[in-house]
Structure 1
Amino acid sequence: MTETTPIRTVISPARYVQGKNAITRLGEFLTPLGNSPLLVADDLVWGFVGHDVEASLSAAGLPVIREDFGGIPSAREVDRLTGLITQHSADVVVAVGGGSTIDAVKAAGYAAGIRWVSVPTVASTDAPTSALAVIYTDEGVFEEYRFFPKNPDLVLVDTQLVANAPASFLAAGVGDALATWLEARATRQSNATTMAGGMATLTGTALAQLSWDVLWENALPAMDAVRDNVVTPALEKVVEANTLLSGLGFESGGLAAAHAIHNGLTASDQTHGLAHGQKVNIGSLTQLVLEGAPTADITDFIEFTTRVGLPTTLTEVGLTPDDTDDLRRIAEAATVGGETIHNMPFEVSVGDLTSALVSIERLSRRVRSNAGLPEPELYQPRHH
């Protein structure tokens, strides 16, 4: 039996473009990739970007063909989009919107054997740059990761669109991106395999840490900028941290407990209306508790992410510490074979994780009270 030589690897999109009004240059950057693009965007997103996208593609001599996105990146939606790609004879498919649209388009582009492009209109996840898609059931429960042999050919982020979007989207992106360093650090300690298919490179780990540093320095002023719908240097830095640094960092640095806990939380109906990054923040806090991180570090994390506008208690994600059956179900889903929680440098049992989840309620309430931060408000789930 031949032993496989361990490798270290880093992967990334072919080109990353970011700036105010960058969407007006989409046609210019699409031209080298294909002659027949298919744009996928829901009606809401198309309502505020359609005019600029049409003008940009027309100026570049490209046809404008747009199809609606169905709302959830499920296997059924991916198959539908794959069929539309074939129907339109598209040679590049462009996702315009949030992480769900982007993940569905990546999976459809791969299935159809063509290039794919991410044009995020919010900086709420690190999905745009990655070579994987998170696939959910039609009801919105995590089903699987689908891995692709390459990353998007282009990621284009218009920071004015990010500034125009509700501040809660940027906050969610900060929650997703803060997990990057916590998980990359754990992956490095355990020498586990990253999402890129090898051990972490110095590059992947360093980008994950840079993402963390940029966010601690700039997230709060960037949130203020978005509330005023203006692009500032702090916002540009946070958009890059949320999208590029976090994207490269999680993929080439590794995932661990925080994202596994997110996946576990999707098994609970109460959490379905929450943004990805809101659930990831609960995962990050729980990972710090599992690690036995220094109290000062946990306190700082709770205070900072509460100020950003992220949930730090079970109450805020529709759960309660008294419902141990529900929390145990979440812990069971988060620790199934193949989940990224097994990249932690120690074994995490269902019981360990349930206890950690129970503990964050009282812990966060105490920290928030001591810091004069508001009491957690009960989350009322949206029902589909």
Structure 2
Amino acid sequence: MENIILSPGKYVQGSGAIRRIASHARGRALVVADELVVGLIREAVQASFDDRTLKVAFEPFGGECCKGEIERLQQRVAQSGCEVIIGAGGGKALDTAKAVAHFTHLPVVMVPTIASSDAPCSALSVIYTDKGVFDEYLLLPKNPDVVLVDTDIISRAPTRLLVAGMGDALATYFEARAAAQGQALNLAGGVPTNTALALAQLCYQTLIRQGPMALAAAEAKVTTPALENIVEANTYLSGVGFESGGLAAAHAIHNGLTLLEECHHLYHGEKVAFGTLVQLVLENAPREEIVEVLSFCNAVGLPVHLWQLGIRELDMAKLRRVAEQACAVGETIHNMPFQVTPDKVLAAILAADRLGRRGVS
């Protein structure tokens, strides 16, 4: 079996990076972004393309990474005659742009305006129904050609989004470690490399050491070294780490939680953070490790129990549905190094909830 590591063709991060986007896109471009994001980036993007006498057009994103939206945008690409697709905004807009680029055989540039997930770097699009329920993973043959992150834009985004990104990144090391112990294949169909596991561990260490300071910078709407480090952890380290290291229980728990209407107001990373705690309980991780994760989540404001997820009553039938969905055939929870059943997952959810309510002790 081959060892495989995946990464974007180029990763660019820094203050004011958006002003140089045309030098990385290199062609007639179609920007897929919602109206709010277009308002944030349009002037800088237009100026950059004008400087290189290249054309750029903007197409509104419908809000959900679903098959209908992907098909609509494919038609728009055919009409526009563009040579490159630029996806801008949050994870769903970026995943949609990646899928459209794949089906239209065009290069794609990712411009995350928030650091809320590791979607920008991955060769993966998470497809939902038009109602926001998880549908499937679309595995793409290559990673984005360019990922461009302007940290000035990130610093002005709502702080909850940065925290959600930390929640998504929090799972990276623990899932990669579990997948490696279970000798599971990564998303490229190969064995994780030592580099991927080292990046996943660095991702976790960066979160623990820099997360609260980065949050303080984001609250002040300024860019600091801590914020730069967390943006890199949320975006690149987590992206390469999860994809090349592998997923396990935390993201499967997230997928189960999407069934609950009570959780629809949550961001991806907020649900993944609780899924990480459930995974640690499921594998009977050392107490010190669980305490460290709980302390971190409490420090930055990530949910650690069901009440914080919006689940006000312990409806066992609903929670069993979550556990069953997490254990569905083909789910990443089966990358754990032991057999996992819905009963075990349900027990871990309830125990994690109690740990979260109790707090660190």
Same fold (TM over 0.5): yes
- Counterpart CA distance in 1 for 2:313 and 2:339 is 23
2:147 corresponds to: 155
Q: Which amino acid aligns with 1:246?
A: S
1:15 maps to 2:28: no
1:361 corresponds to: 353
Contact 1:97-1:122 within 8 A present in 2 as well? yes
SS in 2 for 1:311: coil
2:98 corresponds to: 106
User: In the TM superposition, what whole-angstrom CA distance separates every residue of 1:268-311 from its partner, at most 9, and x where no partner exists?
Assistant: 11111110000000100000000111122212211211111110
- Counterpart CA distance in 2 for 1:112 and 1:293 is 45
The number of residue pairs the alignment matches comes to 361
SS in 1 for 2:148: strand
Q: Which moved more, 1:288-297 or 1:133-142?
A: 288-297
1:327 maps to 2:319: yes
2:165 corresponds to: 173
- Counterpart CA distance in 1 for 2:53 and 2:237 is 33
SS in 2 for 1:151: coil
SS in 1 for 2:136: strand
User: In the TM superposition, what whole-angstrom CA distance separates every residue of 1:187-213 from its partner, at most 9, and x where no partner exists?
Assistant: 110110111211111111111111111
1:299 corresponds to: 291
2:20 corresponds to: 25
Question: How far has the Cα of 1:59 moved from its partner?
Answer: 1.1
- Counterpart CA distance in 2 for 1:253 and 1:72 is 27
- Counterpart CA distance in 2 for 1:215 and 1:302 is 13
Alignment of 1:1-384 (within 5 A): 6-31=1-26, 35-320=27-312, 322-368=314-360
- Counterpart CA distance in 2 for 1:157 and 1:185 is 28
TM value normalised by structure 1: 0.93
Contact 1:12-1:151 within 8 A present in 2 as well? yes
- Counterpart CA distance in 2 for 1:134 and 1:322 is 28
Question: How far has the Cα of 1:64 moved from its partner?
Answer: 2.0
- Counterpart CA distance in 1 for 2:311 and 2:350 is 10
- Counterpart CA distance in 2 for 1:53 and 1:216 is 35
List gaps (5 residues or longer) in structure 1: 1-5, 371-384
List gaps (5 residues or longer) in structure 2: none
Contact 1:183-1:250 within 8 A present in 2 as well? yes
Q: Which amino acid aligns with 1:251?
A: E
Question: How far has the Cα of 1:361 moved from its partner?
Answer: 2.1
- Counterpart CA distance in 1 for 2:126 and 2:174 is 20
User: In the TM superposition, what whole-angstrom CA distance separates every residue of 1:13-55 from its partner, at most 9, and x where no partner exists?
Assistant: 1000000111011111112xxx211111100111121111111
Identify if the C-alpha distance between structure 1 residues 203 and 321 changes in structure 2 by more than 3 Å, giving closer, same or farther.
farther
1:375 corresponds to: none
- Counterpart CA distance in 2 for 1:182 and 1:234 is 22
1:3 corresponds to: none
SS in 2 for 1:134: strand
Question: How far has the Cα of 1:161 moved from its partner?
Answer: 0.6
SS in 2 for 1:65: strand
Question: How far has the Cα of 1:356 moved from its partner?
Answer: 0.9
TM value normalised by structure 2: 0.98
SS in 1 for 2:197: helix
SS in 1 for 2:223: coil
Q: Which amino acid aligns with 1:255?
A: L
SS in 2 for 1:71: coil
Q: Which moved more, 1:339-348 or 1:359-368?
A: 359-368
Q: Which amino acid aligns with 2:153?
A: L
Question: How far has the Cα of 1:321 moved from its partner?
Answer: 6.2
Question: How far has the Cα of 1:320 moved from its partner?
Answer: 4.5
Q: Which runs of 4+ in 1 moved over 4 A?
A: none
Q: Which amino acid aligns with 2:323?
A: A
Question: How far has the Cα of 1:322 moved from its partner?
Answer: 2.2
- Counterpart CA distance in 1 for 2:146 and 2:181 is 32
Q: Which amino acid aligns with 1:318?
A: G
Q: Which amino acid aligns with 1:26?
A: I
Instruction: Quote the sequence identity (%).
Output: 48
- Counterpart CA distance in 1 for 2:282 and 2:352 is 11
- Counterpart CA distance in 2 for 1:21 and 1:198 is 37
Question: How far has the Cα of 1:141 moved from its partner?
Answer: 0.3
